[in-house]
């Protein structure tokens, strides 16, 4: 079954609602808070909401739930829009903001007050916690719960007018302090906050809570299905209570699904911010970060991320997905789409003793896709090979260059090593080899075949570059359980190689262009640091999963 046609409980429920004419058109929404960068978990929510809208001929809104101005910024708003588009989606209409509905939300709060369903409470935060009770003990009514609607309206309009200091009063819904669901124990609707808002400036000294705002925003926008992750399941009765007691223009329905949790990954914004603030990573878009900006800079194709989210499936059971499943999706996608090139990361000089003149070879850009064409690669008497591809002596299992043995240069001739030079420390600094004539694309006439294939670049035409080899950021498969994520960092998550030399064609690579460096892995030209005069490539992923074997 293709991922596009795979069924799940959300699709089943939506189809039932359509068949029952509960709605005319499906409307979903992706409602991020602009207080950080989107991460891999958000990618799941994005694909769920946008793909459902696409499948059922509906629409999906992008709405910023910007009710907490102290932690929000325009930088995050712009980054989130970039990420959604990069992932391959376009929202319906203009970008929406909770702050656009502040006046309506305020008016509806007055409606609750006038109907005896909300009151202004003067308890301190500490006192409110004591009155709230616990999971095993019912809460107690606030002494301010019996204020009249008239007094509550006067106090609330005073809060709106900025007459009271921050933290001195809140507006609470009057529901049930004895409810076994703590979310229904007179939750807070508004707080006094003297904070500048990135959209409304200083117009509002009070701000609605997310629990109060987001259901009404859904109703204003005509959202039919408010699809949330499971941590909001206990909030659904409150969501429904507001919809029931307010004159909203539509009646959205909240449905929850399991969030995406992957091994070796942290998605807590607080812990991601700790990584950034501590300097453990270079920023929110560091290629080791699970943010979409980081994955993009790492070279993860958006199509591979979408495929991974589909393959994981949508359910109501929390679980942890092996991040190797994502890496496999990335590897499979790039194997099909990435052109090949050669890069030597640990150079060792190789002299071809019987090549008197340079040659220009035509090499396929992809061995399995002729449509990608070919490129010209200069073969010169002086080459560079990877130091790990040569040994003076080796057993039969070693399939690379050994003195007296043969290998094929990728896309070129079979060569046979003759001798090597050493430095004062005894290290090999140059290898001498001869070309076996008539072996360009052919096996040797004498019947002695090459043991393996190695990559190479011209010493004179090669392009010096910086290559950043990345690995998983954490050494612990469950780093989120640690209070200090800095304690479980993988010390080898980044290695900067400044000795790399690339084949000449890579001098023309554009930022964000991805290649398979032959026998090394997949690499992307860095979207910010790379230029023709200063090539910088980030390692996306290796050709095979070596992590599982090493860390088993």
* 344-354: pLDDT as tens digits: 999 999 999 99
- The reported pLDDT for the residue numbered 505 is 94
pLDDT in tens, 227-238: 999 999 999 999
How big, in percent rounded to 5, are the helix, strand and coil portions of the chain?
30, 25, 45
Q: Please confirm, yes or no, whether 233 is among the known catalytic residues.
A: no
The architecture CATH gives domain 25-259:
3-Layer(aba) Sandwich (3.40)
Is 259 catalytic? The answer is: yes
How confident is the model over 367-386, as a mean pLDDT?
97
Residue 393 is predicted with a pLDDT of 94
Encoded tokens for 26: 């499906």
Residue 155 CB partners (closer than 8 Å, separation 6+): 120, 147, 169
Nearest Cα to Cα of residue 456 among 393, 403, 519: 519
Domain ranges within the chain, ordered by starting residue: 25-259, 269-339+465-550, 343-454
Q: What is the pLDDT of residue 1?
A: 31
Tokens of 393: 């002596």
Which member of 259, 391, 410, 434 is catalytic?
259
Q: Tell me, what's the pLDDT at 408?
A: 97
E strand residue ranges, 31-151:
59-64, 96-97, 118-121
**75-116 tens-digit pLDDT:** 999 999 999 999 999 999 999 999 999 999 999 999 999 999
Neighbours of 221 (CB within 10 A): 21
The pLDDT of residue 544 is: 87
Q: What does the mean pLDDT of the chain come to?
A: 95
Q: Per the residue annotation, which of 33, 256, 310, 327 is the catalytic one?
A: 33
Please give the pLDDT value at position 23.
86
What does each C-alpha distance from 331 to 295, 468, 545 come to in angstroms? 14, 18, 9
Q: Are 25-259 and 269-339+465-550 equal in CATH topology?
A: no
CATH no. for 343-454: 2.40.240.10
Angle among Cα 274, 318, 76 to the nearest 5 degrees reads 35
Active site residue 251: no
Q: Residue 285: is its pLDDT beyond 50?
A: yes
| pTM, entire model | 0.93
Mean pLDDT of 503-519: 96
Which class would CATH give 269-339+465-550?
mainly beta
- pLDDT tens-place string over residues 447-462: 888 989 999 999 999 9
The catalytic position among 11, 140, 160, 269 is 269
Task: Answer yes or no: is pLDDT of 550 > 50.
Answer: no
């Amino acid at each position: 079954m293709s991922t596009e046609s795979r069924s799940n409980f959300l699709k089943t429920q939506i189809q039932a609602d359509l068949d029952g004419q509960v709605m005319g058109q499906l409307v979903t929404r992706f409602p991020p808070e602009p207080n950080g960068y989107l991460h891999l978990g958000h990618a799941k929510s994005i694909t769920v909401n946008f793909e459902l809208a696409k499948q059922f001929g509906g629409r999906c809104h992008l709405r910023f739930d910007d009710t907490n101005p102290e932690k929000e910024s325009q930088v995050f708003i712009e980054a989130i829009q970039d990420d959604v588009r990069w992932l391959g989606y376009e929202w319906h209409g203009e970008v929406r903001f909770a702050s656009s509905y502040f006046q309506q939300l305020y008016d509806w709060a007055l409606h609750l007050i006038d109907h005896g369903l909300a009151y202004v409470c003067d308890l301190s935060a500490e006192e409110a916690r004591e009155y709230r009770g616990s999971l095993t003990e019912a809460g107690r009514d606030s002494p301010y719960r019996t204020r009249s609607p008239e007094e509550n309206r006067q106090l609330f309009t005073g809060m709106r007018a900025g007459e009271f200091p921050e933290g001195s009063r809140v507006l609470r819904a009057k529901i049930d302090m004895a409810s076994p669901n703590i979310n229904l124990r007179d939750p807070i609707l508004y707080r006094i906050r003297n904070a500048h808002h990135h959209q409304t400036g200083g117009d509002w000294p009070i701000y609605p809570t997310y629990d109060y705002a987001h259901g009404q925003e859904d109703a204003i926008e005509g959202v039919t299905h408010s699809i949330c992750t499971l941590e909001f399941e206990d909030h659904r009765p409150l969501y429904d209570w507001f919809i029931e007691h307010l004159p909203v223009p539509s009646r959205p329905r909240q449905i929850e699904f399991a969030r995406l949790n992957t091994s070796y990954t942290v998605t807590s914004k607080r812990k991601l911010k700790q990584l950034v603030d501590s300097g453990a990573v270079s920023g929110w878009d560091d290629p080791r970060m699970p943010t979409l900006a980081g994955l993009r800079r790492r070279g993860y194709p958006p199509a591979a991320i979408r495929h991974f989210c589909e393959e994981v499936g949508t359910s109501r059971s929390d679980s942890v997905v092996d991040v190797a499943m994502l890496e496999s999706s990335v590897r499979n996608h790039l194997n099909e789409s990435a052109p090949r090139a050669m890069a030597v990361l640990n150079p060792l000089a190789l002299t071809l003793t019987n090549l008197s003149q340079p040659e220009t070879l035509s090499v396929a850009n992809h061995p399995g896709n002729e449509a990608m064409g070919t490129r010209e690669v200069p073969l010169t008497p002086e080459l560079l090979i990877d130091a790990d591809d040569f040994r003076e002596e080796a057993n039969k299992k070693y399939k690379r260059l050994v003195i007296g043995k043969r290998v094929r240069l990728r896309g070129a001739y079979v060569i046979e090593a003759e001798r090597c030079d050493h430095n004062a420390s005894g290290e090999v600094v140059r290898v001498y080899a001869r070309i076996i004539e008539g072996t360009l694309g052919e096996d040797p006439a004498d019947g002695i075949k090459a043991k393996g294939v190695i990559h190479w670049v011209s010493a004179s035409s090669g392009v010096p570059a910086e290559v950043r080899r990345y690995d998983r950021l954490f050494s612990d498969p469950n780093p989120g359980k640690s209070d200090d994520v800095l304690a479980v960092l993988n010390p080898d998550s980044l290695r900067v190689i400044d000795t790399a030399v690339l084949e000449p064609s890579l001098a023309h690579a554009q930022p964000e262009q991805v290649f398979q460096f032959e026998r090394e892995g997949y690499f992307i030209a860095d979207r910010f640091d790379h230029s023709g005069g200063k090539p910088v490539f980030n390692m996306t992923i290796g050709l095979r999963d070596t992590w599982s074997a090493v860390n088993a």
